[in-house]
Amino acid sequence: MRVYVTAPGKVTLFGEHAVVYGQPAIVASIDKRVHVFAEPRPDGTITIEARDLRVPGVIVTYKEGEVTVETEYGLVLPAISYLNKAVELTSRYLDSRHGVKLVVRSEMPVGAGLGTSAAVAVATIAAYAYSGGYELSRDEIARLGWEVEKAVQGVASPMDTSITTYGGFMKIEYSGEIIERQNLGVNGDLPIVLAYVEREFKTRDMVLMVRDKLSKYPQLYGRIIELIGEVTRAAEKALVRHDLHELGLLMNLNHGLLDSLGVSTRKLNEVVYAARSSGALGAKLTGAGGGGCVIALSQSEKLETVETIMRFLSEFTMKTSLGSEGIKVEIEKSS
Ligand code: MEV
């Protein structure tokens, strides 16, 4: 049967990287989604069409009647490896392999730190399973998605795959195989703006770099990780009170700690400082770092100014609402 699956991207408000080591993180789905269409193929082959995975920095050159298009293949290829792994692990889990044509589209740029890889993985898992006539629970989809991220990245927390599966606004923490997901019943209507700067490193590189430092200097980096956990716990309380000033302060603290872990870059820091000096209550990198997105929180009346200033120093900016629905599966039964 033909299947259409969508899954949202996400922003990490607090706790990225530390979540890999058992600290809590606060994360919310955004209103941009990944779309996967799946159609069974009787010849048993698997084809993937991912032309529309939007990559920032596509360069189109017109010269003497010829058009040359250059893309950042370094970013596209990892996205394809999440797709491949998703098909491989799902067919192994179902103990069944069927031919399928998968068409993938994304409303978000790949590799921006907005959880595109997790959304691609989770939507592909569901699309592949349902197109073969199988049903999976959300728990199974999220679990398999996590396996895909671990296989591709080497190390991963279940944060991104959980939020894209369930959606909403959640606190997430895990220990070994036990995952605690708490849907935060808070007002998700936060005045935030995102700005994207060119990604210099992949998620995998950043996660492995932190792991390396932690194993060499556990006393120092371990304490930074613990402090990020403390900031996240305080942020949960501030969110419940909808205390924007305290949330801003905690975002700034979180960014400083991420910078000490070594995952920020000069460009990210420039956008963070520009956002703060134009009136944001707080700003931090969001996601794995090494480039990618900065998230700034502001009072609503200053949001436009903050966005304008951030746009000067970044590739693009966007506003988003938080807490959109998780994975959605639509099945078109053949007659
Ligand atoms: C990446 O979006 C978030 C990290 O914490 C890695 C992970 O949780 O797997 C950096």
| pLDDT (0 to 100) of residue 232 | 98
Q: Which ranges of the chain have pLDDT less than 50?
A: 54-61
At 122, phi and psi to the nearest 5? -65, -45
288 lines ligand 1 (CB under 6 A): yes
| pLDDT (0 to 100) of residue 59 | 47
Atom of ligand 1 lying closest to residue 20 CA: 8
- Burial (CB < 10 A; 0-12, 13-18, 19+), residue 328, is middle
Q: State in Å: Cα 318 to ligand 1 middle.
A: 21
95 is catalytic: no
SS3 call for 257: helix
Q: Distance between CA 284 and CA 84 in Å, rounded?
A: 32
The residue among 112, 315, 282, 258 whose CA lies nearest residue 192 is 282
Strands annotated E in the chain: 2-14, 25-40, 46-52, 59-63, 66-70, 100-106, 169-175, 178-183, 192-197, 282-286, 292-297, 316-319, 328-332
To test the pocket of ligand 1, the residue of 10, 11, 14, 16 to mutate (highest count of ligand atoms within 8 Å of its CB) is: 16
| pLDDT (0 to 100) of residue 112 | 83
User: Which residue's entry shows tokens 């991220």?
Assistant: 149
Q: Distance between CA 284 and CA 304 in Å, rounded?
A: 18
**pLDDT tens readout for residues 20-64:** 999 999 999 999 999 999 999 888 888 877 765 644 444 444 555
- Give 168-171 contacts, CB < 8 A, sequence gap 24+: 168/28, 168/29, 168/323, 168/326, 169/26, 169/27, 169/28, 169/29, 169/322, 169/323, 170/26, 170/27, 170/28, 171/24, 171/25, 171/26, 171/232, 171/236
DSSP state of 322: B
203 lines ligand 1 (CB under 6 A): yes
Cβ contact 48:57 at 8 Å = no
User: What residues does 63 pair with on adjacent strands?
Assistant: 66
Given 43, 139, 160, 259, the catalytic residue: 160
Host H or E run for residue 255: helix 244-261
Query: CA torsion 84→159→229→242, rounded to 10°?
Result: 140
Amino acid letter for position 242: H
Atom of ligand 1 lying closest to residue 16 CA: 5
Cβ contact 7:142 at 8 Å = no
The residue among 26, 39, 22, 205 whose CA lies nearest residue 10 is 26
Q: State in Å: Cα 15 to ligand 1 middle.
A: 9
pTM given for the model: 0.90
258 lines ligand 1 (CB under 6 A): no
Find the helix packing angle between 203-216 and 138-153, rounded to 10°.
Answer: 70
Q: State in Å: Cα 158 to ligand 1 middle.
A: 8
Q: State in Å: Cα 333 to ligand 1 middle.
A: 37
Q: How many helices (H) and strands (E) does the chain have?
A: 9, 13
Residue nearest to atom 8 of ligand 1 (CA): 157
Q: State in Å: Cα 20 to ligand 1 middle.
A: 7
In order of their start, the domains of the chain are: 2-185+323-332 (3.30.230.10), 192-320 (3.30.70.890)
173 lines ligand 1 (CB under 6 A): no
116 lines ligand 1 (CB under 6 A): no
**pLDDT tens readout for residues 83-129:** 889 999 999 999 999 999 888 888 888 778 899 989 999 999 999 99
Atom of ligand 1 lying closest to residue 153 CA: 9
